[in-house]
């Protein structure tokens, strides 16, 4: 069943998910003004699946249940699927100008699918069978699933079992005949509160002594012992201001991260997909990270499209769109943005089948993709801010713009004064000029900067993680040989 956005939102109301924000428990988190934009964002992934012109991108035929499913629950069966995934993410970035969150689940499904298969082959376990059963459920119910990897990690110089506090990496604290008990946390989890289920993976490669930390499982969001503490964003309390609209920049959509705490949660065996197979922890991490690094060549490009559009608009509204340096900057932004898209498509085109039969992206190219994403969006934002001008961060508030308080010599209100002095080209009203400036502020350094700027740097792994993968995949030795052959070096 393909849910609509409204059905998705209603389905969240049935969950008893425990959410804390500003030191308080939030019972109606679905309608909370700071949380709702992130829910609206995920709702778009449901609504677009019903629009005929997007069906090819947004849905796919599931071989597991023999029905058309939302692509966010799909197992990639060829390189076409991998490319469509990136295109779908670009589309959603364009429609929301935010992180729409649902990709972490999709990327986790595909990494689990191949890794559990290989674990079973080696150990005769039944993880793959369990995982496929879980996935069928996800596809039938059209659930959003939070793929959770990143542990708090404590002292970064120490392995999980060496930490002073053993809970700093999520671990198994008890094994029972019918399941396991887990304790720990997952930090900055994208789209965790508004997910129906969570799919937990280990965060790094593990050694034998870290056995209890090599664990993967699924659980519902409202399972006993699980709670989440909402992560705040820059300027987030603007969403609590009465009647806030212009000052939000993006009133409808936003991303979401939280600290997810597992306070001794029982997981029945049927939802355990790894327990102690330490040598597969690294495999699962690399595959998930690879898929998510591919993802950034789609989602960030879609958001980049909106930023370029907003920059061109503010140039019009400022009356400078004919200046040659403005045209150059827009060309540069487009070049940077499309470079990221090239990388997203390239690692998809070069994808290959796994033993389990699903498709994995090219690891080297996916890591190159993400390393570019750690840089180019900063250049794009830099150019956007340059085109926008300083008024983007010094402008009076929406309340001033709407104020009826008389302050002027001839009876002008604060609103009249703001309207007069913030006017630009006759092409735009002051209000529209303010709207596009606030949008750029939001995406460059406000609440949405989490999803575009800092997430570009640290999401799907910080740049050093990509460098390590590039070093591993770069094959310098064979390149040395190429040079030797041509330079006539015989050793
Ligand atoms: Fe999806 Fe991009 Fe958000 Fe990751 S950062 S969940 S790929 S939108
Ligand atoms: Fe992300």
Topology, domain 5-278: Butyryl-CoA Dehydrogenase, subunit A; domain 2 (2.40.110)
Is 441 one of the catalytic residues? Answer: no
Which of left, alpha, beta for 210 (phi over 0: left; psi -120 to 50: alpha)?
A: alpha
Catalytic residue check, 227: no
Per-residue model confidence as pLDDT tens digits over 84-136 = 999 999 999 999 999 999 999 999 999 999 999 999 999 999 999 999 999 99
Contact 179, 267 (CB under 8 A): yes
CATH architecture assignment, domain 285-482: Up-down Bundle (1.20)
Is 51 catalytic? The answer is no
pLDDT number for residue 455 = 94
> Start-end ranges of CATH 2.40.110.10 in the chain?
5-278
Indicate the pLDDT class of residue 440, thresholds 50, 70 and 90.
very high
User: Could you identify the atom of ligand 1 that is nearest to the CA of residue 98?
Assistant: 8
Confidence at 452, pLDDT banded by 50, 70, 90: very high
Question: Model confidence over 352-371: pLDDT tens digits?
Answer: 999 999 999 999 999 999 99
Q: Which residues pair with 174 in a beta bridge?
A: 181
Q: Which residues line ligand 1 (CB under 6 A)?
A: 89, 99-101, 103-104, 190, 295-296, 299, 455, 459
Distance from residue 32's CA to the centre of ligand 1 (Å): 22
User: Ligand 1 atom 8: the closest Cα is on which residue?
Assistant: 99
Give residue 346's pLDDT band: very low, low, confident or very high (50, 70, 90). Answer: very high
Active site residue 292: yes
Q: Which ligand is nearest to the CA of 451?
A: 1
Mean pLDDT, rounded, for 147-173: 97
pTM of the model: 0.98
Residue 455 Cα: closest atom of ligand 1:
5
CATH 1.20.140.10 residue spans of the chain: 285-482
Which atom of ligand 1 sits closest to the CA of residue 100? 8
pLDDT digits (tens, 9 = 90+) for 194-210: 999 999 999 999 999 99
For ligand 1, atom 3, which residue shows the shortest CA distance?
99
Helix (H) or strand (E) holding 141: helix 127-141
Q: How far is CA 96 from CA 40, 92, 187, 348, in A?
A: 9, 6, 24, 23
What's the pLDDT tens digit per position in 240-263? 999 999 999 999 999 999 999 999
The pick from 99, 289, 462 for probing ligand 1's pocket by mutation, whose C-beta has the most ligand atoms within 8 angstroms, reads: 99
């Amino acid at each position: 069943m393909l849910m609509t956005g409204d059905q998705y939102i209603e389905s969240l109301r049935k969950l008893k998910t425990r959410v804390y924000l500003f030191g308080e428990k939030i019972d109606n988190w679905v309608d909370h003004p700071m949380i709702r934009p992130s829910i609206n964002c995920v709702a778009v992934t449901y609504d677009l699946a019903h629009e005929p012109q997007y069906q090819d991108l947004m849905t796919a035929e599931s071989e597991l249940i023999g029905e058309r499913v939302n692509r966010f629950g799909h197992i990639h069966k060829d390189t076409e699927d991998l490319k469509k995934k990136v295109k779908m993410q670009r589309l959603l970035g364009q429609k929301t100008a935010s992180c729409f969150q649902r990709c972490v689940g999709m990327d986790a499904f595909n990494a689990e699918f191949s890794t559990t298969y290989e674990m079973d082959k080696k150990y005769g376990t039944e993880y793959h069978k369990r995982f496929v059963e879980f996935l069928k459920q996800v596809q039938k119910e059209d659930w959003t699933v939070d793929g959770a990897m990143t542990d708090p990690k404590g002292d970064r110089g120490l392995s999980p079992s060496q930490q002073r506090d053993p809970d700093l990496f999520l671990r198994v604290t008890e094994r029972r005949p019918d399941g396991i008990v887990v304790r720990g946390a997952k930090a900055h989890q994208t789209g965790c509160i508004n997910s129906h289920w969570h799919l937990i993976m280990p965060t790094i490669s593990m050694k034998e002594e870290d056995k209890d930390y090599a664990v993967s499982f699924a659980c519902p969001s409202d399972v006993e012992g699980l709670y989440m503490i909402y992560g705040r964003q820059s300027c987030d309390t603007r969403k609590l201001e009465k009647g806030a609209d212009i000052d939000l920049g993006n009133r409808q959509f936003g991303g979401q991260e939280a600290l997810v705490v597992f306070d001794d949660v029982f997981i029945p065996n049927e939802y355990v997909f790894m327990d102690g197979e330490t040598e597969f922890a690294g495999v699962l991490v690399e595959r998930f990270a690879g898929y998510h690094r591919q993802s950034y060549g789609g989602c960030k490009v879609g958001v980049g499209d909106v930023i370029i559009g907003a920059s061109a608009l503010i140039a019009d509204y400022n009356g400078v769109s004919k200046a040659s340096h403005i045209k150059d900057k827009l060309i540069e932004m487009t070049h940077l943005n499309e470079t990221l898209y090239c990388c997203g498509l390239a690692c998809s085109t070069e994808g290959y089948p796994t033993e389990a039969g699903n498709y994995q992206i090219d690891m080297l190219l996916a890591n190159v993709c993400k390393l570019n994403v750690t840089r180019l969006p900063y250049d794009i934002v830099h150019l956007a801010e340059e085109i926008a001008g300083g008024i983007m961060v010094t402008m009076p508030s929406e309340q001033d713009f709407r104020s009826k308080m008389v302050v002027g010599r001839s009876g002008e209100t604060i609103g009249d004064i703001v309207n007069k002095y913030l006017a630009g080209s006759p092409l735009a009203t002051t209000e529209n000029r303010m709207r596009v400036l606030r949008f750029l502020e939001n995406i460059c350094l406000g609440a949405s900067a989490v999803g575009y700027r800092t997430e570009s740097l640290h999401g799907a792994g910080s740049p050093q993680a990509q460098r390590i993968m590039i070093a591993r995949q770069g094959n310098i030795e064979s390149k040395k040989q190429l040079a030797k052959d041509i330079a006539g070096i015989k050793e």
